[in-house]
Homo-oligomer: A and B are copies of this chain.
Amino acid sequence: MKLNRSLSLILILACAIVATAQEAPAPKLNLMPIPVSVKFNRDRLVVDSNFRVATRGHSDARLQGGIWRFVKRLEGRTVLTLPAALAPDDQTTPLIIHCQGAGKNIPGVGENESYRIDITSRQAILSAPTVVGALRGLETLLQLLDADRNGYFLPGVQIDDQPRFPWRGLLIDVARHFQTIEVLKRNLDAMAAVKLNVFHWHLTEDQGFRVESKKLPKLHQLGSDGNYYTQEQVKEIIAYARDRGIRVVPEFDIPGHSTSWLVGYPEFGSAPGPYTIERRPGIFEPALDPTREEVYKFLETFLGEMAALFPDDYLHIGGDENEGKQWDRNPAIQAYMKQKGIKDNHALQAYFNTRLLKILQKHGKKMIGWDEILQPELPKDVVIHSWRGTAALAEAARKGYDGILSNGYYIDLIQPAAQHYVSDPLPADSTLTPEEAKHVLGGEATMWAEWVTPETIDSRIWPRTAVIAERLWSPRTVTDVSDMYRRLAVMSLQLEELGLTHRKNQEMMLRRLVRNDDVGPLRTLVSVIEPVKEYRRYQMRPQTMLSPLTGVVDATTPDSETARKFSFMVQEFLNDGPRFQLYRVELSQMLADWQTAGASLGPVIDRSPGLREIKPLAHSLSQLGATGLEAISYLKLGMPPPRDWREQSLAKVDEAAKPYGALEFVVIAGVKQLVNAAAEVKTQ
């Protein structure tokens, strides 16, 4: 592991944004992730139809492709036709891109991604040691674009930037629900926009085998329902990612999670089969048989083929959640363990991993796997991918293993961005020595795909993943949650220009749900409810991998902006007591909207049976609105409510807190605060 991280530790001097002393307060920039250092000057560089770009130093097809995309996005936002050809490198060219070298031919862990931006009123200069650094800087330039009545401009700044961690990834599970090439491409674009650099392609699962194997074709032919990537498409994605400075790390999850492998090749399972593609979510028993040589021959063939297809140094072998139940029941496996002195299933899996490691090493690959692979005999050049947490990661680091964090970054759990934002691979209270800390390479957001289709997946990944990208790129001290949400709202819009559908598909899904009806009342409800968190959705609303994901729970997104706004206004309003003026009008309007929308939803639901499951929520929406309005009214008038009012109101709110259709209100606490405050009003 030869990471150039000492440099990064030297360069990170202070907190994110440094305004030079003699200047006016620094303007609020919309950068995400926040760079290591930003200094302002009073200049601005005009962006108009004469905005030309020149290169200096190294140039190649990848850089030119990046510049082309940069210009097209700049044109898209400004509606300006910009010169199509590169300009000469002289003092009148508005943007000079000075790149010192190509960098790695295949993106890798040690890539230098640093860049510097100097913007004056005459010229912007982006300089970087590598093409990838220049690409990172181009994204920052696009985020810097601003405008006023005089036109578009880039503000005068000097930015020095480089990532805190070298491994900043997004895992997309394409196995439980297949995701098309276009989904992957637009998500790679979005990753590049927030400076993520590893696409972890989770290609196999009990529920699907998604990559073409020319040597073992029954894998994809029988394991995928026809939904797999051809090797040509895999190459296309790898090239697309490389163009954006993104590595592609494939995962083939074994020995468990392998039902779909065994549909075509039951002879390599630990039970005789036959096997069919799993349609349910969960943890299943099928596992490869680690005691038979033909299984390793099979894996040698398959992994050799994949090692040649995927150029990255690393190959992820999964290794998680194998409970070994098939092993326990297989007399031959038990006999083998006894004979070889393998004491339990963990040891058996460690043996399997050791064999796997040899196969990977033979093909020039480094191995990465989930926490479970960390067994006593594991060689030190294996990377641990931790779903367990920073403690497990630190323990691995102390033992000398490189590791990456995904605990805290499970974006399928529908938690707010703020919660992911505080997860740090190297938290402030870490007791690792600097040498040990170098083993912590970074982290990955994980998009597990039990409940996402191409129509909804973007809304589960974005915009929240941008804050994980910031955590992994920006200095540890960048932690202001309210500024994070301010910038995230801007990023969310900018991601749309790349084709991301996280916003636009919601309206479409609501229109489909209400058929030809008015979408307004449902939109109001959806703005204050969220899917239930963690793994409760399946418990409350069981479906299979073949079920439609077109219900209200699917159209509803995590991290409700309206709920944040409501909560903010409630605090401000209550803090303004006994006057109770601040935000009273806005709060009352919002609560009245809930009351009206809840009532209007009744007939809408009657005409659209797909909405029946939210009928209780529509009623609760009205109740929450009415209760909140009552509370505000008592507070405003300084009039104590009747004796039983608090109890009755809280009972209504508690009733509203019950989830239906795997959906729950996220404004409960705010309404309760209003009720409790109103109940405290004393007769004057």
- Interface residue tally on A, bucketed by range: 35 or more
Asked whether any CB of chain B lies closer than 8 Å to the CB of A607, the reply is yes
Of the candidates B84, B496, B511, which one forms a contact with A493 in the assembled complex, judged by CB atoms under 8 Å apart? Answer: B511
How many Å lie between the Cα of A187 and that of B503 in the bound state? 22
Chain B residues closer than 8 Å to A489, beta-carbon distance: 516
Chain A residues numbered 501-553 whose CB sits less than 8 Å from any CB in chain B: 501, 503-505, 507-508, 511-513, 515-516, 543-544, 546-548, 550-551
Assess whether A79 is in contact with B551, with CB atoms less than 8 Å apart: yes
Chain A residues packing against B (C-beta within 8 Å):
72, 75-81, 84, 147-152, 180, 182, 232, 489-490, 493, 496-497, 501, 503-505, 507-508, 511-513, 515-516, 543-544, 546-548, 550-551, 606-610
Chain B residues closer than 8 Å to A512, beta-carbon distance: 76-77, 493, 496-497
Chain B residues closer than 8 Å to A152, beta-carbon distance: 609
Assess whether B76 is in contact with A543, with CB atoms less than 8 Å apart: no
How many Å lie between the Cα of A496 and that of B455 in the bound state? 11
Chain B residues closer than 8 Å to A547, beta-carbon distance: 75, 81
Assess whether A607 is in contact with B147, with CB atoms less than 8 Å apart: yes
CB distance from A230 to the nearest CB of B (A): 9
Assess whether A548 is in contact with B72, with CB atoms less than 8 Å apart: yes
Chain B residues closer than 8 Å to A76, beta-carbon distance: 512, 548, 550
Chain B residues closer than 8 Å to A497, beta-carbon distance: 512
Of the candidates B75, B148, B507, B609, which one forms a contact with A606 in the assembled complex, judged by CB atoms under 8 Å apart? Answer: B148
For the A-B complex with A75-B547, A78-B610, A493-B515 known, give 13 more contacts whose Cβ atoms are closer than 8 Å.
Answer: A77-B550, A77-B610, A79-B610, A81-B543, A81-B544, A81-B548, A147-B608, A148-B606, A149-B607, A152-B609, A180-B182, A490-B516, A501-B504
With contacts A147-B607, A489-B516, A543-B81 known, is A550 near B75, CB below 8 A? yes
CB distance from A176 to the nearest CB of B (A): 16
Assess whether A546 is in contact with B81, with CB atoms less than 8 Å apart: yes
Q: Which residue of B lies closest to A546 (CB)?
A: B84
How many Å lie between the Cα of A547 and that of B76 in the bound state? 9
Chain B residues closer than 8 Å to A610, beta-carbon distance: 77-80
CB distance from A430 to the nearest CB of B (A): 37
Of the candidates B72, B493, B543, which one forms a contact with A516 in the assembled complex, judged by CB atoms under 8 Å apart? Answer: B493
Assess whether B79 is in contact with A550, with CB atoms less than 8 Å apart: yes
Q: Which residue of B lies closest to A506 (CB)?
A: B504
Q: Across chains A and B, which 4 residue pairs bring their CB atoms closest together, nearest first?
A: A75-B548, A79-B610, A504-B504, A149-B606
Chain B residues closer than 8 Å to A606, beta-carbon distance: 148-149
Q: Which residue of B lies closest to A151 (CB)?
A: B609
Q: Which residue of B lies closest to A504 (CB)?
A: B504
Q: Which residue of B lies closest to A72 (CB)?
A: B548
CB distance from A517 to the nearest CB of B (A): 10
How many Å lie between the Cα of A546 and that of B148 in the bound state? 26
Q: List 20 A-B contacts (CB under 8 A).
A: A75-B548, A76-B548, A77-B512, A78-B548, A80-B548, A80-B610, A81-B547, A147-B515, A147-B609, A148-B606, A148-B607, A149-B606, A149-B607, A150-B609, A232-B232, A490-B516, A493-B511, A493-B515, A496-B512, A501-B504
CB distance from A158 to the nearest CB of B (A): 25
Chain B residues closer than 8 Å to A490, beta-carbon distance: 516
Chain B residues closer than 8 Å to A501, beta-carbon distance: 504
CB distance from A529 to the nearest CB of B (A): 16
CB distance from A348 to the nearest CB of B (A): 36
How many Å lie between the Cα of A609 and that of B76 in the bound state? 13
Assess whether B503 is in contact with A508, with CB atoms less than 8 Å apart: yes
How many Å lie between the Cα of A490 and that of B550 in the bound state? 18
Chain B residues closer than 8 Å to A75, beta-carbon distance: 547-548, 550
CB distance from A490 to the nearest CB of B (A): 6
CB distance from A52 to the nearest CB of B (A): 14
Chain B residues closer than 8 Å to A180, beta-carbon distance: 182
